[in-house]
Amino acid sequence: MMSYYALQVKTRGEDKYIKLFRALHPEVILPIYFPQRKLDIRQRGAIVHSEAPIFPGYIFIEIGEDDDIVNYHWAFRKTEGFYRFLRSNQNITPLVDRDLEVVLHFIKKVGPIAGKSKVYFDAESRIVVTEGPLLGLEGKIIKVDKRKGRAKIKLDLYDDSFSIDLAFEVIAAAGTV
């Protein structure tokens, strides 16, 4: 059984932290995840493709059952940009329950970069997700912007709650043409 840990690092410095960690500690061969999302943003009439973190300021590490976080604790802490392990540096605990479920959704099911979901709207104007990053997160959708093609979802990680936008494209409902 794999364990997943969350590290808080400098926001907008997640990629830099991972690269620096890999350069300083080439002997540490652990999967490090930094889930991101693609969004199309309209700026001055032009569509700009951008990538943004799903969990700003957080990266996730996967450690096998034969390993222990204590073996890597100082390597992560000494790398520039590190703030803390979650729950705290004195109480490092792996992700469990809903926290683990949400993180694994983006790490394993979606992949490193969440693209657009495919959706349609039913007769009552409710969003129905057929594929993509929003699949399985329908209960977390708090707002839908059809014009921009975005769904705002509420995510919880430890004691923090935050919302992010994920892109979608509308397809024809099954049986309609």
All structural domains of the chain with their residue ranges: 3-170
At residue 160, does pLDDT exceed 70?
yes
Q: Residue 42 and residue 167: Cα distance in Å, rounded?
A: 13
Residue given tokens 């940009």 in the structure block: 81
> What confidence score (pLDDT) does residue 71 get?
85
> Going by C-beta distance under 8 Å and a sequence separation of 6 or more, which residues neighbour residue 67?
none
Reported as a pLDDT band with limits 50, 70 and 90, residue 174 is low
Q: What's the CATH code, domain 3-170?
A: 3.30.70.940
Dump pLDDT digits (tens) for 82-118.
999 988 888 888 999 888 999 999 998 888 889 999 9
N- to C-terminal Cα distance for the chain? 46
> What confidence score (pLDDT) does residue 54 get?
92
> What confidence score (pLDDT) does residue 123 get?
84
Q: Residue 92 and residue 77: Cα distance in Å, rounded?
A: 12
Reported as a pLDDT band with limits 50, 70 and 90, residue 177 is very low
> What confidence score (pLDDT) does residue 173 get?
60
Cis peptide before 87 (omega within 30 of 0): yes
Dump pLDDT digits (tens) for 10-68.
999 999 999 999 999 999 999 999 999 998 888 888 888 889 999 999 999 999 877 88
Task: State the Cα torsion 78-31-164-102 to the nearest 10°.
Answer: -120
Give which of 35, 29, 18 is closest to 81, Cα–Cα: 18
pTM given for the model: 0.86
> What confidence score (pLDDT) does residue 7 get?
95
Range with lowest mean pLDDT among 18-22, 49-53, 120-124, 169-173: 169-173
> What confidence score (pLDDT) does residue 89 get?
86
Q: Residue 70 and residue 46: Cα distance in Å, rounded?
A: 49
Residue with the bigger pLDDT between 125 and 32: it is: 32
> Going by C-beta distance under 8 Å and a sequence separation of 6 or more, which residues neighbour residue 105?
136, 137
> What confidence score (pLDDT) does residue 155 get?
87
Q: Residue 152 and residue 99: Cα distance in Å, rounded?
A: 18
Which residues are paired to 99 by β-bridges? none
